Structure 1
């Protein structure tokens, strides 16, 4: 058995597990990339070797998501939270507002950050029902003059998602897709912009992806800090400063792996099957409870609780012994959570279900 075959099932929400073939290829190329005598971590970001990596990464992502030509794709040297500040600075002129649908903690944080720059407004807040469902947004809910409508498409902490995205005409739809990008088919033309941190379905942390309609670049007419200036980043092809080269390289390998697996169509079917296995089991027992309304359940982050919360620490300790890592819920909400991103194999879900059944019998 190789070192790679002994890897555990990592259910962490992020940084998350990467596909084993990607890790193996990265390991084989680590010391001597393409016979250069250097690691890809060492090559110049201005050199031809990395330039090809960057170009191929962007092209693969455009292909996988069928991104139209009137959209710019760029990499930025930070996680998704950078965009909580960058979006209002780039898309809102002084005094303008945007609308926010608060379906969880990250949407709330994004709105709080935007309020530092502009008088943005809340059009939905699911706090009263503990964010266990998402709304059906439509044009009638949008405030007059809103420059955009902001959503978090999948709620990592709380295990909910939009099963269908709103089709809005009054304002561009902006989506944080950090925890589900590349996991299901989307129509990019429905959105003014999409952003995502890399550490779930793309690659290592420290990198984010932005897909934005070109006519929105430079819209605010503000002086924006250079590393948050979308127009400047686009003009410099994600290379205004030294980008996180290794994270981009790893992302390219993940994109290649996903393409070889059949693309987003194939992985969506695979993800749906995995999630169904786990939710079907949760729905057959009262020992565990899945609090999210079925129509709003996340496919990427399955949140559940134990009927007896005092058993959580014992459950987690036993899971670790079984090689089931990272099942604790987020520190802000508690409970349990299985993050089952693209890289999680079906065998990991079955192993988790077997352990849950065993734990219930022994409890």
Structure 2
């Protein structure tokens, strides 16, 4: 049975990437060695990570004032590493809380200094984006989550940061659309959604923001050390970086971020049109703030959720259950998602809706 992978992360990867990665596990580039066996400081892997770093900059349209790092620890590590490096000892930073991940970032930042929540959407269960806020004067940076995987909301325009450095957690929509990346001082993303396999975290930093916190930072957590060492300060996640390279190549070959966005809109339009038209399902997110990556919804009758999920399982629809913290239903439609899979799910939803009448 063909399976349709709607998992939120680790999530779907292009078949070409999976094939190339599996071949490299046995024999990397005809070397007679597995990608899992080669030293991270050999020319073989240095070429991999340098090409991956270069492709990140190319796809984002960034110049040499930015550095690209491949780190570990996921976006969760960055919740701590960002304020540790960028929040001055006696300073403050502004945070937008649009959901579970923004809330976690605020909690971590509060360990290191004053984290001011300037916008919070908890009043409506994070079902919309609050764009009306003021960044306090003197804030070191403004942090936001560009796409809220759990709640299904997305920023379709950049938050108004003024002259304040803009920091983005782009874990679930990085490389899915053109963005004014150069308006950001730092961007980070766990790779396991649109940028590769779990284990690698991409961090893009405008280098001139570093070294001003006044903190004594542990060497392994200091961005400056990773920049100087070109992401080789310690052993990087070799295989995960290689899968990211393959994924970045695939994105470029497919037409880059403009093409990714075009496909994302087609998938999302197909799904949301069905969601709005079917009586048995209820959308959650305000229409203008709906995510192109993660669609969240419920059944009008809670008792119908289990049988719908059972029907999905019977038909090879994987990952439709909502996040454990909020429940409900969720469909993740990342770059590698074929339109055919979304159509198959829509057909199943229509079948389920008809059966309830």
**TM-score of the superposition, structure 1-length normalised?**
0.96
Among candidates 243, 252, 274, match of residue 267 of structure 2: 274
The 5 Å alignment of 1:1-363 reads 8-137=3-132, 141-363=134-356
Residue 3 of structure 1: aligned partner:
none
**What is the alpha-carbon distance in structure 1 between the residues aligned to residue 215 and residue 44 of structure 2?**
36
Taking only aligned residues, the RMSD between alpha carbons, in angstroms, comes to 1.2
Number of aligned residue pairs: give it. 356
Stretches of structure 1 that go unaligned for 5 or more consecutive residues are 1-5
Q: Secondary structure at the match of 1:49?
A: helix
Deviation at 1:226, TM superposition (A): 2.4
Is the 8 Å Cα contact of residues 148 and 173 (structure 1) preserved in structure 2? Answer: yes
* TM superposition outliers: structure 1 runs of 4+ over 4 Å: none
**TM-score of the superposition, structure 2-length normalised?**
0.97
Deviation at 1:316, TM superposition (A): 1.1
Q: Alpha carbons of 1:251 and 1:7: their partners in 2 closer, same or farther (altered >3 Å)?
A: farther
1:296-328 CA-partner distances (Å, limit 9, x unpaired): 000000001000111212111110111110100
* Between 293-302 and 281-290, the greater mean CA deviation after superposition: 281-290
* Between 34-43 and 216-225, the greater mean CA deviation after superposition: 216-225
* Between 25-34 and 247-256, the greater mean CA deviation after superposition: 25-34
Deviation at 1:137, TM superposition (A): 4.9
Stretches of structure 2 that go unaligned for 5 or more consecutive residues are none
**What is the alpha-carbon distance in structure 2 between the residues aligned to residue 74 and residue 229 of structure 1?**
12
**What is the alpha-carbon distance in structure 2 between the residues aligned to residue 242 and residue 137 of structure 1?**
43
1:123-142 CA-partner distances (Å, limit 9, x unpaired): 1110011111112256xx01
